[in-house]
Chain A
Amino acid sequence: MRRGDLWRGHSSHHLAARIAVDTGYAALNSGLLNGGWPLGSLIEVCQQGFQGEWQLFMPALLSGESRAGESRPGNPGLIVLLNPPAEPFSQALIQAGLDLDRLVIVKATEKAPFLACFTELTRTVACDAVLAWQPRANLTYTELRKCLLSASEGAGLYILFRPSSVQQQSSPASLRLFSQVVTGGLEVTVFKQKGMLQRQQARPVVLSRPDEWRGLPPYHGLDQKPHPGKIDDKTPPLANVSNLRGKS
C-alpha cells in the first residue's frame, strides 16, 4: 500500500505524496496534485503542432528541483529532447538561461527505437527531464504503458507530446493535458490526473504570453489601412525594408 501508483478510490488525501516540481505558474500549480509537475511519472501533453511547449515547461526545467538534480547539487542532470519537431535554437535557450551543456537531442523517428530510447533515458539517473515527441506512428496503449512503467523507475520529469487527435483515446499517463495557444496566451487544460477525481468539466488555465511577443504596430503602420499581413509591393515599403542596390 505504500506504492504511489496504487489507486485508492476517491480518497486523494490517502494517496502517498509524490515529489512534484513547481511549474512556475501559480494558477497551474493550484490545479495539480502536490502543487506541480509530478516526477517519476508520465505527463502527456496533447497539442496540435507547436503550442508553447517551451513556455509551459521552461520554468520547471530551469528550476532544477527534480530529485536527480538534488542528488547532485551544482551538477544538474540532462534535459533530453527525444525526436523534437525542429532544432532548438541556441540563442533563445541561452536568453532563457538554460545551460546548453545540459541539453541533448536524440532523433528517433521510428517507433521501435523511439520506445527503446525513451525507456533507456527514463531509467538513467543522469537525466533530469525527457521531452519526447511521439513519432509519426501512433503509440498504442501497451506502448504507452511501457513508457509509464519505465518513467516510474526514474525520478525526473518525463513529458510525452502527442497530437491533439489522441485526446479522446485512452492513455495510462499519470497526467494528461491539452495545450493550445489562444489570444490571451497559452491555454492549458488538465483533463486527466491520477489521484484526483474530475467532478466537473476541466477548467482551462491561461498562461499569459511573454510581453515582448505581444508586439506593437510599427509607427509607420499606424496610418496604414488595417489589412493585417497584407504585403503589397506597390504600397510604400516598411521603413527598414528597402530594396538593396542593384536588386529589384
Chain B
Amino acid sequence: MSERRTRLWLALRFKDLPLSALNAPSSPDKSVVVVERRRVVSMTANAAASGVRIGMDLTTAQLLSDCQVVTRDPACEQETLHRLCEQLYQFTPHIEPYRSRETAQSGLLLELSSCLKLFSGVKKLCEAILALLKTTGYEVAYGLAHSSTGAWLLSFDNHEIRGDETTALFIIRLNKLPIQVLADYPNEVDALGKMGFSTLGDLARQISANSVGSFTKRLGKDFAEVICGIYGIDQGFTQASLFVKPVESYAPEEYFHEEVQFDYPINIVDQIKSTIENLLHRLSDYLRKRQLACQHIQWRISDIHHRQEYIQVHSDTPQSDWRLLYDLTVIQLENKAIPFDIDCLELICHSAMPLQGSSQALDFSGGRKRRGSAQELSVTMAKLKARVGETAVHKVSYRDSPLPELSNLMIGLAEKSFQQLPAIHRNGLRPAWLFANPQIIENRQQGLYWHGYLTLMVGPERMVGNWWDEKVARDYFLARRRDNLAVWAYLDLYKRQWYVHGVFA
C-alpha cells in the first residue's frame, strides 16, 4: 500500500462577505450594517469607527451611527461563494465551501497537495490564488494547515505563507490558538474554559497524555471528532489510511449553449426551422449522454446591430427528446412576429435535471415517429398551453364548500380531481353549466326576467354558510324561462336580489 500523502489545505475566509455579497448601493461616507435577527453581523469601516461592533443589538448600532441597515441574505452569499468556486477551479478541483453555524463567517477550503507540482510549489500557488482574489475585491484572510478545520482556524491567526511549512509547524501554530476560535461550539468552549483549558495546545497535551476518550465522554463524540480533525489524529485505527475521509471534488456548473451564425439575415420562420431542429438535436444528444432532462430552454436571437430577443420555451414534463421542444418553439415563433433580421440563433439550457426512471425508445434515426397515447396527450397539452396560455387549459374538481361557486375548483392538468360528493349535494338539483359570476335577474312588474320571463318550478333549496368570510344565505330554484330553458336561480336573502347561477342543459 502506498504511503499516505499529507494533505495541504488552504482556507480562504471572506471577512465581510455578508456585506460585500449584497452589493448594497451606498456612498463611501454612509455607514452600512448588516443584521441578522436584529444583531449586527457585518459593517462598513465607517460604522466600525462609530463604535458599532459585531454582535451588537440593532438599536444600539443605530443610536451609535446613523447607519443604513441591510438584512443578511444567505442565498446571496452562497451565490458569491459559488462564483468564487468557479474561478478557483482553475487551481484545484478540490474545493469545499465552509459556513460557520454560529457566526457570520464563511469561506472556501481548498486542498492543494495534488496541484503543487503544476504550480511550482505551495508558495507560488497560494500567491496566484490570492492575486486572483484581490481582483474580485473581497477581503480575504487565509490559513494553511494539514487539515481543513485546522486551516480554517489558522485563518484567524495571520501567518505568511513561506512554502516550507510542515505538519509540525502547523501543529505548533494551532497549539497557540485560544479555544475561543472554536466559535461553532459555544457550550463546549464554555465547558472547556471552566475545566481550565485556554488554548488548543492544552487540548492537544491532554489528548497525548490520556486519549481523546476523556473529551468524548465529557463533551460528546462530535466535538471530540472535531478536535481530532484539527490535529489530524487517527483514532486508534490500525490501517488509518482506509478510514481517511475522501476529499470532495468540486463539479463546476455545466449547461448547454450552442449558437449558429447565419450567412445572411433571416426574417422568415420557415427558414430557421431546420437550424432550430439541428440545435435541438444537439441538445438532445447532450441530455441523453448525461442522463438528463430539461423543462425549460431559452432561445436568443440577435441581429448584426446586437439587438437581442429571448424566447422562453417551457414544457410541463421533463424532456430529453427534441420533438416537443421543437413543436413548442415553432408555436412560439408563429405566435410572435420576428422583430428583426436574425443573424445569430443561440440555444441555451441552464436547468437540466436527472432523468427519471422511465423507459426510452432505442431510436438512432432521430426522425419523427408516432408517439404513444400518454406521451401524445402531454405533447398536445403542452402545445395547447403554448398557444393559448398556461391558465387557459385546466381541469375541474369538486371542493367541499357551502357555496356552489367555491365548490367548483379549477385545477391544473397534472392534479387529480376530487370527486367525493357529499350526500347533501348528491341528490340536489345541479345545473351542468355554472356562471362564475351570477347574473342579475330583473324583478319586473310581470315577474322575474333574465332574457325572458322566468317561472319558478322546483325549490327552494337553502344554502347558508361562509360566515367566516362573507355571510351568505341563498334559496335556489329551478326556474323555467318562456323558451323552456331551465335555469338555476337563487334569491340572495341578505341582498334581496335574484340571480341566475347556472343553466340546466
Binding site for B on A (CB under 8 A): 49-55, 71-72, 77-78, 84-96, 99-101, 103-108, 113, 116-117, 120-121, 124-127, 181-183, 209, 212-216, 218, 227-231, 233, 238, 240-241, 243-244, 247-248
Q: Mark each residue of chain B from 391 to 425: 1 if its CB lies under 8 Å from any CB of chain A, else 0.
A: 01111111000001001111001001101010001
Q: Does B505 contact A (CB under 8 A)?
A: yes
Query: In the complex, which residues of chain A have a beta carbon less than 8 angstroms from the beta carbon of B419?
Result: 90, 94, 99-101
Cα A216 to Cα B435 with chains together (Å): 25
Q: Is the Cβ of A107 less than 8 Å from the Cβ of B388?
A: yes
Cα A183 to Cα B483 with chains together (Å): 8
Q: Is the Cβ of B429 less than 8 Å from the Cβ of A212?
A: yes
Query: In the complex, which residues of chain B have a beta carbon less than 8 angstroms from the beta carbon of A92?
Result: 430-432
Q: Contacts A107-B388, A113-B388, A124-B380; is A87 near B434 (CB within 8 Å)?
A: yes
Q: Is the Cβ of A241 less than 8 Å from the Cβ of B430?
A: no
Q: Is the Cβ of B493 less than 8 Å from the Cβ of A247?
A: yes
Q: Contacts A87-B408, A214-B457, A247-B494; is A229 near B446 (CB within 8 Å)?
A: yes
Shortest distance from the beta carbon of A84 to any chain B beta carbon, whole Å: 8
Q: Is the Cβ of A91 less than 8 Å from the Cβ of B505?
A: no
Query: In the complex, which residues of chain A have a beta carbon less than 8 angstroms from the beta carbon of B485?
Result: 49-51, 181
Q: Which of B21-29, B50-58, B343-351, B472-480 contacts A (4 or more CB under 8 A)?
A: B472-480
Shortest distance from the beta carbon of B441 to any chain A beta carbon, whole Å: 9
Query: In the complex, which residues of chain B have a beta carbon less than 8 angstroms from the beta carbon of A106?
Result: 384, 388, 392-393
Q: Which of B184-192, B240-248, B369-377 contacts A (4 or more CB under 8 A)?
A: B369-377
Q: Contacts A54-B505, A105-B395, A231-B447; is A120 near B484 (CB within 8 Å)?
A: no
Q: Is the Cβ of A87 less than 8 Å from the Cβ of B380?
A: no
Q: Contacts A88-B433, A229-B454, A247-B494; is A125 near B417 (CB within 8 Å)?
A: no
Shortest distance from the beta carbon of B435 to any chain A beta carbon, whole Å: 6
Instruction: Show 26 residue pairs from A and B whose CB-CB distance is below 8 angstroms, ordered by the A residue.
Output: A53-B505, A84-B433, A86-B434, A86-B436, A86-B503, A87-B434, A88-B433, A88-B434, A89-B502, A90-B407, A91-B407, A91-B408, A99-B417, A100-B397, A100-B419, A101-B417, A105-B410, A106-B393, A121-B380, A126-B373, A181-B483, A213-B458, A229-B447, A231-B448, A231-B498, A248-B496
Query: In the complex, which residues of chain B have a beta carbon less than 8 angstroms from the beta carbon of A214?
Result: 457
Q: Mark each residue of chain B from 185 to 216: 1 if its CB lies under 8 Å from any CB of chain A, else 0.
A: 00000000000000000000000000000000
Cα A54 to Cα B502 with chains together (Å): 13
Cα A50 to Cα B505 with chains together (Å): 6
Query: In the complex, which residues of chain B have a beta carbon less than 8 angstroms from the beta carbon of A86?
Result: 433-436, 502-503
Query: In the complex, which residues of chain B have a beta carbon less than 8 angstroms from the beta carbon of A241?
Result: 460, 475, 491, 493
Shortest distance from the beta carbon of B239 to any chain A beta carbon, whole Å: 59
Closest to B448 in A: A229
Shortest distance from the beta carbon of A138 to any chain B beta carbon, whole Å: 20
Q: Does B456 contact A (CB under 8 A)?
A: yes
Cα A86 to Cα B431 with chains together (Å): 11
Closest to A114 in B: B388
Q: Is the Cβ of B458 less than 8 Å from the Cβ of A216?
A: yes
Q: Does B92 contact A (CB under 8 A)?
A: no
Cα A71 to Cα B373 with chains together (Å): 10
Cα A230 to Cα B460 with chains together (Å): 15
Q: Does B159 contact A (CB under 8 A)?
A: no
Q: Does B455 contact A (CB under 8 A)?
A: yes
Q: Is the Cβ of B409 less than 8 Å from the Cβ of A90?
A: yes
Q: Is the Cβ of B455 less than 8 Å from the Cβ of A229?
A: yes
Q: Mark each residue of chain B from 349 to 383: 1 if its CB lies under 8 Å from any CB of chain A, else 0.
A: 00000000000000000000000011011011101
Cα A105 to Cα B502 with chains together (Å): 17
Query: In the complex, which residues of chain B have a beta carbon less than 8 angstroms from the beta carbon of A126?
Result: 373-374, 376-377, 380
Q: Contacts A105-B396, A213-B478; is A87 near B433 (CB within 8 Å)?
A: yes
Query: In the complex, which residues of chain B have a beta carbon less than 8 angstroms from the beta carbon of A107?
Result: 388, 392-393
Q: Does B387 contact A (CB under 8 A)?
A: yes
Q: Contacts A50-B485, A120-B384, A231-B443; is A215 near B374 (CB within 8 Å)?
A: no
